[in-house]
Structure 1
Amino acid sequence: MATSPKLADFILDLCAKAAASEMIDPEDVAKAFAKVSTNPNVVTWEGYLLAVKDNAVKLAKEGKIRVYRKGVAVDPETLKGVYRMGPVSAE
């Protein structure tokens, strides 16, 4: 039986593949992760949105990715509303 990847690793991989100036939509992450996940408790991609945000905040606090709001890097501690993710090299 195949195991699904960890969401944090999935986010890191997508950010690593992104161009330096590219920002990633959390909905796209949730949709892509839903296709490879084997979690029987999550029926639709929307079920991953909160987990994507939680992982994005954690990874940003660790300095592994950046979170953006309105195109500007923001403090992950105060992240609210619509956001995007990107590699640390993005600015």
Structure 2
Amino acid sequence: MADPLTSDPQASEPPASAAPPDRERIAESIRRLATQRGAEKSICPSEVARELGGESWRGLMRPVRDTAMELARQGEIEVLRKGKPVEPGEVRGVIRLRIAAR
């Protein structure tokens, strides 16, 4: 067991038995959170990562962003940069996600 006085709380890892979420589980979380937020509002990819990864959420940011880009290419969500929709291939920096208008 790690010593809580010398351990880095930011470096916590999931238990060895905990498998990382697969792409479909990530996609389901993105869809659900974006739908709950509504078409006029957006979510941060970190909300999805935190929900799925708990204390180890940072390691999920790349899979969450990659899955979000796939969903955007399929027309399920929109990727926003500075409040404006951007093409998935043009994404750099901070983004937000919202459910696509149908």
- Which of 52, 56, 60 is residue 72 of structure 2 equivalent to? 60
SS at match of 1:33: helix
- Which of 28, 31, 34 is residue 53 of structure 2 equivalent to? 34
TM-score by length of 2: 0.72
CA contact (8 A) 2:26 2:48 kept: no
- Give the C-alpha shift of residue 67 in structure 1: 0.3
In the alignment, which residue of structure 1 is the partner of 2:91?
A: 79
TM-score by length of 1: 0.80
SS at match of 1:85: strand
- Give the C-alpha shift of residue 87 in structure 1: 0.8
Q: Which runs of 5+ in 1 are unaligned?
A: 36-42
Aligned residues: 81
Give, in whole Å, the separation in 2 of the partners of 1:8 and 1:20.
17
Q: Which runs of 5+ in 2 are unaligned?
A: 1-18
C-alpha RMSD of the superposition = 2.0
CA radius of gyration, larger in = 2
Please say if 1:17 is aligned against 2:36: yes
Q: 1 or 2 for the larger relative contact order (CA 8 Å, sep ≥6)?
A: 1
